[in-house]
Amino acid sequence: QVQLVESGGGLVQAGGSLRLSCVASGRTFSGYTMGWFRQAPGKEREFVAAIGWTSGRTISADSVKGRFTISRDNAKNTVYLQMNSLKPEDTAVYYCATRPGLPLPHVVGYDNWGQGTQVTVSS
C-alpha cells in the first residue's frame, strides 16, 4: 500500500521561502511520477509541479515557474518542493501524489495522494 506523507508547511510572510517534503513508501517508484498539487479554499485542486522518479524530468505550472523547484532524493524516497518568493495567492493545502508513467500537469491519472500540508502566506 502506497503511503505519502507531506511535511514542511507553515505560515510565512510574502517574499519568504518554505521547503515541502513528501516521503513515499509502499512500492518501488521506478517509472513513476511524483507530483505536487495545491487546493485553496473554494477552488479546485491544481497542478503545481511534477518530476519523473527515474528520469528526473520536471514540469511546472506557469504560475510557479522561476519561484518553485521540485526535486527528489531517490535514496530517501523523498520529493521536495522548494518554494521561494512566496505570494499570498500561494496560500493553499499542498498535496503530493503519484502516477505511473510520465509527468503530466493535471490531476487525472494521479492515483495515490498524501494528506496535505497547509501553506499560508501573509501579506
Residues near 122 by Cβ (< 8 Å), separated by ≥ 6? 11, 12, 13, 14, 88
Residue type, 122: S
Each residue of 57-108: pLDDT tens digit?
999 999 999 999 999 999 999 999 999 999 999 999 999 999 999 999 999 9
Q: Residue 119's pLDDT is what?
A: 98
What mean pLDDT is reported for the chain? 96
Question: What span, in angstroms and rounded, lies between the C-alpha atoms of 59 and 37?
Answer: 12
- Banded model confidence at residue 38, pLDDT cuts 50, 70, 90: very high
* Partners of residue 13 on adjacent β-strands: 122
